[in-house]
Amino acid sequence: MGLIWNQIFGQQKALTQLDQSLKNGRLSHAYLFVGPSAVGKKKTALALAQRILCESGNSCGCCRSCLKVEKGQSENLIILQNDSTELKNNQGIIKVEVIRQMIASLSLQIWQGSSRVVILDQAHEMNLQAANALLKTLEEPPSQTYFILVSSQPHQLPSTIKSRCQWVQFGRLLPQDMVKVRPFPAWVLDLSHGQLDWAEYLMEEEYQEVSRRSFYFWQSLFEKKEDLENLLSFLGDIEKRPYIMKHWSSFLHRARRFCAQGSPALEEKDSLDFKNEQTLFIKMASQPQAVDQTWIRFLELQSDFDVHVEKNLALENFYFSLKEIWQ
């Protein structure tokens, strides 16, 4: 137990920005924490809430309020989690009803304190109705109430919401910061792109299955053996889809790096099926423009998924565009 602020690694620029605002008494009523997933945005939001709500006013980390915030049990802290089934509808969109309920609760008296903090995780998943409901409160916030919106995809937020918030940028974690959380092997640090959620997943057995199927997809596509039905089946598991997309992103990133540098992408050659991957990269490197075009199409597929385009239609378009590229 203690001050959450001291448990955050690799985000010194963001911490300095917030620390100066606290010390100068210039806290914004609304913040937007932006950056890749799993780099410390939400933890920093909790750390800021703990300092704001500290009973001693000195960010002690040990008063009753600080301990309650650390456990997520403070009456003056409202956390809307992105993994809550009550928060979203069946399409994964944050429901307007939840935002309205949160706003209604703000009319209640602050519990044994002078401030209140609202943390909205993955704020970009609000639909337009929910965003508009929140906007009115951001325009006329209740006294001594602070909002912290957390997002890995701020481009999906309405400009009206973004303009009402002070932005705090978070970067990818460096390997030396990630190993403070867990002693990840070098190949995991290389493939995780500074994101703890991806690093943790790479350590799980399930990753090996996703890795094999992903590699098979790209190999079969290059050899003109892949079929649309297999692709739709592969991405049919909604829970695994984010990890498949991350694996594809990592694979294409390594392929592009190989095409540019003509050298292995990993230091630990035995950590993956290195030989087969490098053989495929050598073949792909003969068509560097096709690799770049594939990367562009993949980014478009990610964008379609982000804006909740009908998934099978997006995959069909992706599949046929790849067949055209690699014909």
Together in a domain, 166 and 213: no
More confident position, 24 or 268: 24
Confidence of residue 119 (pLDDT cuts 50, 70, 90): very high
Confidence of residue 268 (pLDDT cuts 50, 70, 90): very low
Confidence of residue 274 (pLDDT cuts 50, 70, 90): low
Which CATH number goes with the domain that contains 208? 1.20.272
Count of Cβ atoms closer than 10 Å to residue 65 Cβ: 24
Domain membership flag for residue 17: yes
Phi/psi class of residue 10: alpha, beta or left (left: φ > 0; alpha: ψ in -120 to 50)? Answer: left
Together in a domain, 42 and 116: yes
Q: pLDDT, tens digit, for every residue of 192-244? A: 889 999 899 888 887 878 888 888 888 887 777 766 777 777 776 666 777 78
Domain membership flag for residue 189: no
Domain membership flag for residue 193: no
pTM of the model: 0.81
What is the residue type of 86? E
More confident position, 253 or 232: 253
Together in a domain, 291 and 156: no
Domain boundary among 149, 171, 193: 171
Together in a domain, 163 and 34: yes
Q: pLDDT, tens digit, for every residue of 145-160? A: 999 999 999 999 999 9
Together in a domain, 143 and 226: no
- Kindly report the average pLDDT of the chain as a whole number: 86
Strand partners, 165: none
Name the percent of the chain lying above pLDDT 70: 90
Together in a domain, 21 and 160: yes
pLDDT at residue 327 greater than cutoff 80: no
What are the tokens at 108? 């209640």
Together in a domain, 163 and 26: yes
For residue 47, with 0-12 CB atoms within 10 Å meaning exposed, 13-18 middle and 19 or more buried, which class applies?
buried
d(CA 294, CA 325): 7
Domain membership flag for residue 182: no
Domain membership flag for residue 239: yes
In degrees and rounded to multiples of 5, residue 116 shows phi and psi of -145, 145
Together in a domain, 29 and 96: yes
Query: What is the number of structural domains in the chain?
Result: 2
Together in a domain, 162 and 208: no
More confident position, 228 or 267: 228
Domain membership flag for residue 179: no
Domain boundary among 171, 190, 222: 171
Q: pLDDT, tens digit, for every residue of 79-112? A: 997 555 555 554 558 889 999 999 999 988 777 7
Average pLDDT over every residue of 172-191? 92
Q: Which domain holds residue 321?
A: 204-325
Q: Would you state the pLDDT for residue 271?
A: 45
Average pLDDT over every residue of 111-130? 90
Report the SS3 class of residue 128: helix
Which CATH number goes with the domain that contains 120? 3.40.50.300
Together in a domain, 221 and 140: no
Together in a domain, 166 and 17: yes
In degrees and rounded to multiples of 5, residue 320 shows phi and psi of -70, -30
Q: Would you state the pLDDT for residue 270?
A: 45
pLDDT at residue 267 greater than cutoff 60: no
Domain boundary among 120, 150, 171: 171
Phi/psi class of residue 183: alpha, beta or left (left: φ > 0; alpha: ψ in -120 to 50)? Answer: beta
Domain membership flag for residue 192: no
d(CA 124, CA 306): 9
Together in a domain, 244 and 100: no
d(CA 252, CA 157): 27
Domain membership flag for residue 185: no
Q: pLDDT, tens digit, for every residue of 297-319? A: 999 988 888 776 687 888 888 88
